Each structure stands twice: as structure tokens, then as C-alpha cells.
Structure 1
Amino acid sequence: MEDTMGKEVVLKTLRHEQVDEVAWVPFSGAHAAFIKGYTATEILTDGDKLFDALMEVHKLYTPDGMPIMFDLQIEAEILGCKLMWADENPPSVVKHPLRKEKTIPCKCKIPKKTDGRIPMVLEVMERVKKEIGDDTALYGLLCGPATLASHLRGTDFFMDIISDPAYAEELVDFCAEVNIALAKYYVEAGMDVIAVVDPIISQISPKAIETHFLASFQAIFDEIRNLGVLSCLFVCGDATNQMDVMARSRADGISIDENVNIVEAKKITDQYNVTICGNIPLTTVMLFGSQLDNMKYVVDMMDTIDHHNLVISPGCDMPFRIPVDNTIACVQAIKHTDESREMVKNHEAAGTLMDIDLPDYDALTKPFVELFTLDADTCAACTYMVNAVKDVKEIMGDDFDMAEYKYNRKEDIARTQKMGVEHLPSIYINGKVRWSSIIPPREELINAIKELM
């Protein structure tokens, strides 16, 4: 019976062993608050409410594995970042302590067990481990080194990669040491899998990652392996071009979102014998779709992909208001695939949500910069792309107009579909794509806007 326990399915899959089932790991971060009637802020600051919400996730969604806390700002807050809290999302970083100070924090700044919200997280980890740790693989999530560096430095971090790569590399090295320190705390608290969540990676070129940052990632995953647990590297956005270098990070698994074709990505991860995790669409399917839409998506994915080295999960942290029934439909499709396939054999998923009128781009009197994002409030890669445009807006003022369209609003989804946007986040100028899943250097963005003035 031990071989059929959910926990063992996850661990064997990440160890690249053969299993008879496909592992199911819902990333129910802020969404865990929703199903208990709490706000996101409540479960991210109150250990009792977080524990209560996690137990509800375990009861409703019968996961094989689950994260304890999906908040990429824990380390940033301790290191001096100012946060803005929200009812339906994790907090976002609004003040970057190294924005005007190109320095490296001293090693004495590496978070201790007693710092910030770490004591609360460790206590909840221990409680959850005692309650369900025998049958469920528990994930401890870290803010990855590149994303943490961008939290500390702001959008200047992306300029540093070009203008001062030695500094960017040193800053990421420091952030990797922060990761290693927290990984040790989380393993001591009973975590089975340590996940390094680094959404910003999709915004950095594969060459820059390999040249400047790959060694830092490898050091993190080597240390996690030395601690005797398994690991996963999370990325958001269109990381198609980064798949090969990520597969060489020495992580046991790589988690991707809907921007990446999981069938094609698995061809790369299979070359390196790395488990791939993902990638049920968060908004078009899980948030706005029906139960049958969710069931059909999962069944179709399972029917078109090799099940070895595969964990099925949402594309990232689940949106707050995803209907519980939609997630349960995903569980049904994973655990009872044959029955679910029969249920959805004649089902047609809904098409475009509504009709949207696009601007007459040829008649514009000044450049119009449009940002198509998942949601800048919750997606770090989106946040820093939007901030990069806002920085230029502060410089150029009324010389151009800008707008953000979020892929968690029906009208914005429809606009994104009508525009033919293939990857999120992306920047369009006057109706034409200029940067897809890459944050442009400031001068390059300014020059692109000036060309159309």
C-alpha cells in the first residue's frame, strides 16, 4: 500500500522512478484563504489561519503533494523591502532597498530562524507535517535568487545584467546563500521538497543565465540534495527558450506555466532526466472555465504526454477565487481518467469570452504602449515588466500613453486573444509586439517609443 500513497507518488516521480499514477500537486497559495473565508493577508500573517486553510485544501483536493506557503516576499521583507498587502493576493514589493545603492548585503543579513515571518512558517510546517506528513509530500517554497535580487534592486537589476554583470552576479550569489539558509530551516521543519520559485528567470536571456547565474542555481540545488530532500525549480512566463539551461540547474523537477508548451518542454527535460511539473491554465480554464472545461483540459494533457517524470499542477499560484468545483474536476481527471474521458468526450470548451474593440492604431496621435500580463500584482515577471515601462513614463511623461491588460479579467483575456498575444508578459507598441517575455533595457524602450513620436 505504501507505493500507492500520494506522498510516495510525488517523491518517486521526482526521483525519476516508474510509478503507476500521475502525481497531483495543487499550488493553492492565496486560494487556500478563499476556501476558508479568509483574506490572503490573514493566512500569510496568522499561523492558525494558515494551518486551518491548509487542512481544508488537503480535505477538498486530496493532493499528493502541497506547498505550505506561496509567498515570494518573506525573504525580501526581512532584507528591507517594503511590502503592499492585499486581500486576494500575496503582498508585492513596492520599495527596493538597493534601488539607489549598488551594494551587496553583508552575510550578517542572511535571515535567521527568528527573523520576520519565518518563525510562523516553521511552526505551521511542523504542525502540518505532524498532521498529514505521512501521506502528503510537503513543499517548502523559497524566493529564487534572481527574483530576490530584483526585489532588492528593482528594475535596475535588469540594467545591471547588461551594464554591470559582475555586480548582478555577486548579488545573485548572495541571494543564493539566503536560499540555502532557508532551505536548511525548512528541511529541519520536515519539508520533503524544496521549491525554488524564480519567475524572473523567464525574463533573462539563456546566455546571461548560463554565464552569470547558473552556478548559483546549481549551488542551491546541490545543497538541497545534500540535505537529503528533493527539489523543484519554478518559473513563470514564456520560459521556452530557457528550458535547456534550467534543466541543467540540477533541480529534480521544473515547474512551468501555460506559456510553455508542456509536450515540447518535456522533450528537453527528458533529455536531462528531469521531472516536469505543470501546467493547467490558471485563468481561462481554472478561474473562468467550467468543471467540464477543467476536466477536459487535464484529460487531454494526460492523453498527449508521457506520464514518466510528470507531475500535474496548476501553472503557478492559484488565483484567489478559483471555484472549488473546478479544482475538484482536475482531481477527478487525474485520479479517475478513464471515467473522466468518457464524461468529456463530446464537450467543447468555450471560445473567446466577449467581443472587444481594438484601438485604431494608425490614427494614434502619440505612441501607445500596451502591456499584456498575467497580473502585475501577483506575477513577479509581470511586475518588473510593468515597472520598467512606468520608469520610462516618469522620464518621458505625456510623450506616450500606456495600459496594462491582465489575464485574470474576462475583458482583458478577450483583448489578449483578439490581439493574438502568444506569450505573457509582453509589450506591444502601437499594436505590434516589441518584447515577448523579456524586460527591455531602459534606453532600448525609450528609443523604441521615440521612433514612433
Structure 2
Amino acid sequence: MTPKQILLDVLNHKKVGVLPWVPFAGVHAGKLVGYNATEVLTNKDKLVKSLLEVNKLYKPNGQPIIFDLQLEAEILGCELFFSDNYPPAVKSHPLENVETIPCECNLPTATDGRLPVVLSAMKEMKEKVGNTTALYGLICGPFTLALHLRGTNIFMDMNNEEYIKSLLEYCLKVSERMSDLFIEAGMDIIAVVDPLVSQISPANFEKFLDIPFSNLFKHIKANGAYSSFFVCGDATKNIEVMCKTKPNSISVDENIDLVEAKKITDKYNIILSGNIPLTSTMLHGTQEDNMKYVIDLIDRIGDTSNLIIAPGCDMPYDTPIENAIAITQAVTQPEIARKILENYKAVTTDIYNKVPDYTSLEKPLIEVCTLDSTSCAACTYMMATVNQAKEDYGDTIDVIEHKFTLKENIARFKKMGVTNLPSIYINGELAFSSIIPSINELHQAIDKAFN
């Protein structure tokens, strides 16, 4: 049985003898062959060479072709900022100051933006490894795409039900078009990646997102592909409403308790995928740390049917190769991994990282704890809201971002008691946990800190 067939059997709820493994190696793929993120995301030959190296080293059951939630946004008029180690970030929003709906004549075509690079890479990968590896086409989900177009105003738009539903209807059509293009290019699974779903309540999900996502997953299924609903951040409250939209699988990150989430996904007979921590384990951990996480995860879950092992999101560019290989071995040869771990001892690095004396601050200090605002969409928009507040308050407040990708901040977060990302702390007190406030809500919290 091929690795691909094992994954497809799991998606069809068949019993298999080994768990499937899907490394979400986006820009990290370029690291394996010496290319930076921008090269991988703009050059077909470099992208394919990188993906083939992922396939060779990590022996995946499934793998994504590209992990870039800005493809659609770029085509629709958003300006992007490219960097060497991360996917591009959106830096402008064409609908930020105009409450309009784009024309359906602006739906993406195969010749728009960087789609020729991506579609060509998909077809070549299908030819070269498509018989043995299931291929994922990742598209930007309707809600995050609406945020790319409208900016953080989208959270105020929740009060304008007619407008936001119309905007989401347009974004759904974009998602359907992208899924069609990717399926035509040979993708077996369409992953609808919508990080910002974690930022809204279940009530607002049911009001605004249930219909778009339900229709999108029906559309993907009708066109002969499997679907995955990929969400980032603490989406615990939304797992059940996500299940009701009927994707084949749901992918979550380290903010989610996978054991508890699986109780819900099992109730709806939906596959659960995740959630190896990106930074503390994959980026900064040892080989043994990565093996240990996978083995412990398997043991905690117990019933490993309807389960795919995967990173919590796009793997960091600098993830050590040996760590991903260690995960491969833990998934494919768990008994050997258990033998290796018999004398395992966790190595703790308590890097000195002084936390301020908040009682003696001269002005309010806003600390934004992120995975990294240059690579995490929810972090990007939380940081954008805080930066807007900084412009409004000027020198009367201080703002700093603590990125979890930096090893010293792992120790800082432990001292601060940070449990969910992204979060905002004001004078050392948690103000917003894994939810992006409106600018008015943030103003109110800052004003309270002045008193």
C-alpha cells in the first residue's frame, strides 16, 4: 500500500496499520535546498526542486504544494511584503476605505498573479510523485480573504450584516474558483486555510460563515476532491460549528487540546489533523523532543482512527531537518521510537529574560505575544490593531511584540503565564486572548490602564 493510499483510506474512515503523516513544509521546503522563501514562492523550478526534497527526506503520506494565503489577495489588489524566511504578508487592503463588493468579473484565472507558477508546479508534482503521495492544494478561506480585502474593519462590519454577508459571498466564489483550478491541476485534497476563524464567536460563525463554508466543502466534494478545514489559534469554541460545515477533515494548531477536540470530531465522523508545536518543539526542540511529542500524542489520544499527524501550521523556515525526520520515524516506526526514548530526559533552557516591574511603569505598556506577526495571519492583524492604537496614542503608550519564534521568548511566556497566541497584555495583565479586538475595544482597555 502506498503512503498516499494510507492517507486516502483514513479520509474514507478505513482502518490502517500506521498513522498518516503530512508535513506542512511551505517555505521550509526551500531551506532544504538553499532557496529563500521568496524564491520558492515565485519560481516554479525552485519550488518543485524543494518539494521533491521534502518528499525524499520526510516520506510524507501527503504534502502541500504551496503554503501562501496571500495568493488570492495579491490577485485581488492587495500589496504584499516579501521576506526571506516567511510567506509574504498583506500590507494594503483595497476595500479598507470603501464599503463595496468586488465585481465577479474579477475572479482569479489561471494566468493571474503567481498562479501560473503554482499550477505548473502542481502539475509537475502530480506527474512525479502523485501516484505515491497525496497532494494538498491550499486556498485562503473566505473569512481571512475578506479580512485581507477589508482590513481590521471587518470586525466592525459584524454590525452590518448585509454587507459582510455579501462580501463573504464574493470571497466564497473566489475560494470555489481557486479550488477548481487546483483540482484541475491534480490536487487530491483542498485545504481551506482560514486562521481568522478562531477570532470570532460560535454565534457569529453560524450567522456569517456556516453557509459559505458548507457550500465550499460541498463544491470541493462535487468536483472529486477531499477537503480540509484548517484553522489557527485557539479555535476550541468553534470546533463543533466547524464540524457542522461537513469538511472531510479539520486541522488545528497547538492552541487546541487535540484529545478534547477529537471527541467532537469523532462525534461528527470527521478526521482530525495536527498539532505538533511549531516553535517550542519543531524549531527549538531536539530530535528526541519531537519524537516524544508524537509518541505522547498517540498515547494520550488512544483511539488513533480518524487521525493525521501534522504540524500545527506552516513549518518554520529554519526547522532543523533532523527534527522533521525524527517525527517521520516516530509516526512510521513508533516502537523503535519508544526504544530510543527509554532514557529520554527533557532539556530545559531557562534563558534569562527579565519581565518588567509593571507597578513602576511611567506609561501603559502593551505587549503583543505572537507566533510571529510576519507569518501568522491572526498575529498580523492583532499587531495591526495595536499599531493603529500606537498611532492614536503616540508617545503616551509603549508597544512591543514578543515573537514565540525567538527562543528567549519561550521562557518569557512561561513567566508571563501566556497560554494562547496571539494575545495582548496591558501592564502585565491579559487583556485579549487569541481574539483580535476592535480598535474601540482596545482603546477602552488602554484608557482603563491610565486610571
TM-score by length of 1: 0.98
SS of 2:449's partner is: coil
From 172, 175, 185, give the equivalent of 1:176. Answer: 172
Q: How does 1:357-372 map to 2 (within 5 A)?
A: 357-372=354-369
Counterpart CA distance in 2 for 1:12 and 1:370 is 45
Give the equivalent residue in structure 1 for 2:297. 301
* Residue aligning to 2:421: 424
- 1:223-234 → structure 2 map (5 Å cutoff): 223-234=219-230
Indicate the SS of the match to 2:399: strand
Q: Provide the C-alpha distance between the structure 2 equivalents of 1:66 and 1:417, rounded to a whole number of angstroms.
A: 33
Aligned pair partner of 1:250 in 240, 246, 258: 246
The residue that corresponds to 1:214 in the other structure is 210
Q: Aligned with 1:370: secondary structure?
A: strand
Tell me, what secondary structure is at the counterpart of 1:408?
Answer: coil
- Give the match's secondary structure for 1:322: coil
Amino acid at match of 1:118: L
What is the CA-CA distance between 1:350 and the residue it aligns to?
2.5
Give the match for residue 351 of structure 2. 354
CA–CA distance in structure 2, aligned partners of residues 82 and 353 of structure 1: 40
Letter in 2 for 1:244: E
- Tell me the residue number matched to 1:312: 309
Q: Which residue of 1 aligns with 2:89?
A: 92
Q: Name the SS of the counterpart of 1:443 in structure 2.
A: helix
**Pairwise CA RMSD:** 0.9
Which of 221-230 and 388-397 deviates more? 388-397
Provide the rounded CA distance (Å) in 1 between the counterparts of 2:222 and 2:183.
11
* Alpha-carbon distance between aligned partners in 1 of 2:346 and 2:440, rounded to the nearest angstrom: 43
Q: Which residue of 1 aligns with 2:332?
A: 335
Residues 358, 427 of structure 2: 8 Å contact kept: yes
1:390 Cα deviation (Å)? 1.0
Q: Partner of 2:355: helix, strand, or coil?
A: coil
> Does structure 2 conserve the Cα–Cα contact (< 8 Å) formed by 1:10 and 1:65?
yes
How far apart are 1:352 and its partner, in Å?
A: 4.8
User: By how many angstroms is 1:12 displaced?
Assistant: 1.5
The answer to whether the 8 A contact 2:73-2:148 is kept is yes
> Are residues 1:115 and 2:112 paired?
yes
Letter in 1 for 2:442: L
Q: How far does residue 348 in structure 1 lie from its aligned partner after superposition?
A: 2.1
- Mapped to 1, the partners of 2:338 and 2:398 lie a distance apart of 47
Distance 2:388 2:13 in 1: 45
The amino acid that maps onto 1:15 is: N
TM-aligned CA deviation for residue 165 of structure 1: 2.8
Question: Which one of the candidate residues 147, 151, 172 is aligned to 2:148?
Answer: 151
SS at match of 1:80: coil
Please identify, of 309-318 and 443-452, the stretch whose mean Cα deviation from structure 2 is larger: 443-452
Alignment partner of 1:323 out of 320, 326, 350: 320
Aligned ranges 1:16-165 → 2 under 5 Å: 16-161=13-158, 163-165=159-161
> What percentage of aligned pairs have identical amino acids?
51
Give the Cα–Cα distance (whole angstroms) in 1 for the partners of residues 350 and 421 of structure 2. Answer: 18
Count, aligned residues = 449
Match of 2:382 in 1: 385
Cα pair 1:352 1:417 within 8 Å, conserved: no
Q: Is the 8 A contact 1:295 1:330 kept in 2?
A: yes
What CA distance in whole angstroms lies between the structure 2 residues aligned with 1:270 and 1:74?
33
Paired residue type of 1:384: Y
Which residues of structure 1 form unaligned runs of 5+? none
How big is each residue's C-alpha offset from its partner over 1:28-78, in whole Å with a ceiling of 9 and x where there is no partner? 000001011001000100000000000000000000000000011100000
Single out whichever of 19-28 and 343-352 deviates more from structure 2: 343-352
C-alpha separation between the residues in 2 aligned to 1:98 and 1:134? 42
Question: Do 1:202 and 1:237's aligned partners in 2 also have CA atoms closer than 8 Å?
Answer: yes
Residue 17 of structure 1: how far off its partner (Å): 2.0
Residues 400-446 of structure 1: CA distance to partner in whole angstroms, max 9, x if unpaired?
A: 11111011001112111111111001111111111111111211110
Match of 1:265 among 251, 256, 261: 261
1:189 matched to 2:185: yes
Deviates more, 1:390-399 or 1:138-147: 390-399
- SS of 1:125's equivalent in the other structure is helix
Within the candidate set 423, 442, 445, 2:442 is matched to 445
Residue 346 (structure 1) shift: 2.5
| TM-score, reference length from structure 2 | 0.98
Paired position in structure 2 for 1:205: 201
Q: Please give the secondary structure, in 1, of the residue aligned with 2:87.
A: coil
- Larger deviation, residues 345-354 vs 184-193: 345-354
